[in-house]
Amino acid sequence: MRPTLTQAPSAQDLREKILFHLTHTQGRGPEFATVFDWRLAVSYTVRDLMVGPWVGAIRAARDHGAKRVYYLSMEFLIGRILGDAIINLQLEPAIAEALTQLGLDEQEILDNEPDAALGNGGLGRLAACFMESLSSLRCPAYGYGIRYEHGLFRQSFENGQQVERPEDWLNQPHPWEFVRIDYSYRIGFKGQVETVDGRAVWHPGESVIARAYDTPVIGWGGDWANSLRLWGAHPTTLLDLPRFNAGDYAAAAEPEALARTLSRVLYPDDTTESGKELRLKQEYFLTSAALQDILRRFLAEHDDLSLLPQKVAIQLNDTHPAIAGPELIRLLMDDHGLPFERARDLARATLNYTNHTLLPEALERWSTWLMGRILPRHMQIIQMIDDDHRDATGRPSHVGIVHNDQVHMGELAFIMAGRVNGVSALHTDLVRDTVFADLHKLHPDRIVNQTNGVAPRRWLRMSNPSLTRLLDDTIGNGWTGDLDQLQGLEDHAQDASFRDSLRAAKRANKVWLSNGLLTKLGVKADPDAIFDVQIKRMHEYKRQLLNILEAIALWHRIHDDPNGGWTPRVKIFGGKAAPGYWLAKSVIHLINDVAATINSDPITSEYLQIAYPPNYNVSMAEDLIPAADLSEQISTAGKEASGTGNMKFTMNGALTIGTLDGANVEIRELVGSENFFLFGLTAEEAAAEKARPGHARAAIEASEDLQVALQLIAEGRFGQADSYYSLLDRTWNDDPFLVASDFDAYFAMQRQVDRAFADPASWVRMAALNIARSGFFSSDRTIRGYMRDIWDVRPVTA
Ligand code: CR6
Tell me, in angstroms, the distance from the centre of ligand 1 to residue 357's CA.
6
What's the pLDDT tens digit per position in 772-788?
A: 999 999 999 999 999 99
Query: What's residue 245's pLDDT?
Result: 80
Residue of the CA atom closest to atom 14 of ligand 1: 356
Q: What does residue 155 show for φ and ψ, rounded to 5 degrees? A: -105, 135
Band of pLDDT at residue 247, cut at 50, 70 and 90: confident
Where in the sequence numbering do the catalytic residues fall?
A: 356, 536-537, 542, 644, 648
Q: Say what the pLDDT of residue 1 is.
A: 41
DSSP 684-737: HHHHHHHTSTTHHHHHHHT-HHHHHHHHHHHTTSSS-GGGGHHHHHHHHHT-TT
CATH of 509-782, one of 2.70.150.10, 3.40.50.2000, 2.20.28.270, 1.10.3720.10: 3.40.50.2000
Please check whether residue 631 is in contact with residue 651, taking contact to mean a CB–CB distance below 8 angstroms. no
What type of residue sits at position 203?
H
The average pLDDT across 333-344 equals 97
Residue 471 CB-density burial (10 A; 0-12 exposed, 13-18 middle, 19+ buried): buried
- Ligand 1 atom closest to Cα of residue 270: 15
Q: In whole numbers, what is the pLDDT of the chain averaged over residues?
A: 96
Q: What SS3 class is residue 189?
A: strand
Of all helices (H) and strands (E), which one includes residue 191? none
Pocket of ligand 1 (CB under 6 A): 121-123, 126, 270-271, 318, 356-357, 362, 423, 452, 640-644, 662
Taking the CA of residue 643 as reference, the ligand 1 atom at the shortest distance is 10
The tens digit of pLDDT for each residue in 376-409 reads 999 999 999 999 999 999 999 999 999 999 999 9
pLDDT for the residue numbered 6: 52
| Gyration radius from the chain CA atoms | 27
Predicted ipTM of the assembly: 0.97
Q: How confident is the model at residue 274 (pLDDT cuts 50, 70, 90)?
A: confident
Q: Rounded to 10 degrees, what is the CA torsion of 371, 377, 383, 389?
A: -120
Distance 122 CA to ligand 1 centre (A): 5
Q: What is the pLDDT of residue 270?
A: 72
| pLDDT category of residue 362 using cuts at 50, 70 and 90 | confident
Tens digit of pLDDT for each residue in 156-195?
Answer: 999 999 999 999 999 999 999 999 998 899 999 999 999 9
Between vectors from CA 161 to CA 160 and to CA 166, what angle results, nearest 5°?
Answer: 125
pLDDT above 70 covers what percent of the chain?
98
Tell me, in angstroms, the distance from the centre of ligand 1 to residue 92's CA.
32
Q: What is the DSSP letter of 581?
A: -
Q: At what angle do helices 496-521 and 465-475 cross, to 10 degrees?
A: 170
Asked if pLDDT for residue 764 goes beyond 70, the answer is yes
Parallel/antiparallel/unpaired status of strands 192-196 and 199-203? antiparallel
pTM score of the predicted model: 0.97
CA atoms 701, 702, 704, 708: torsion sign = negative
**pLDDT value, residue 164:** 98
Answer yes or no: is pLDDT of 634 > 50. Answer: yes
Cα torsion 637, 641, 646, 648 to 10°: value is: 170
Domain range summary for the chain, segments of one domain joined by +: 323-328+336-450, 509-782
Per-residue pLDDT, 633: 99
**Banded pLDDT at 794 (limits 50, 70, 90):** very high
Give the pLDDT score at 51. 98
Per-residue pLDDT for 705 more than 90?
yes
Distance 124 CA to ligand 1 centre (A): 8
Report CA-CA distances (Å) from 355 to 362, 378, 421, 436, 538: 11, 22, 6, 10, 21
- For 430-464, the pLDDT digits (tens) are 999 999 999 999 999 999 999 999 999 999 999 99
Is residue 645 within 8 A of residue 624, CB to CB? The reply is no
Residue pLDDT, tens place only, 63-101: 999 999 999 999 999 999 999 999 999 999 999 999 999
Which residue, judged by its Cα, is nearest atom 18 of ligand 1?
122
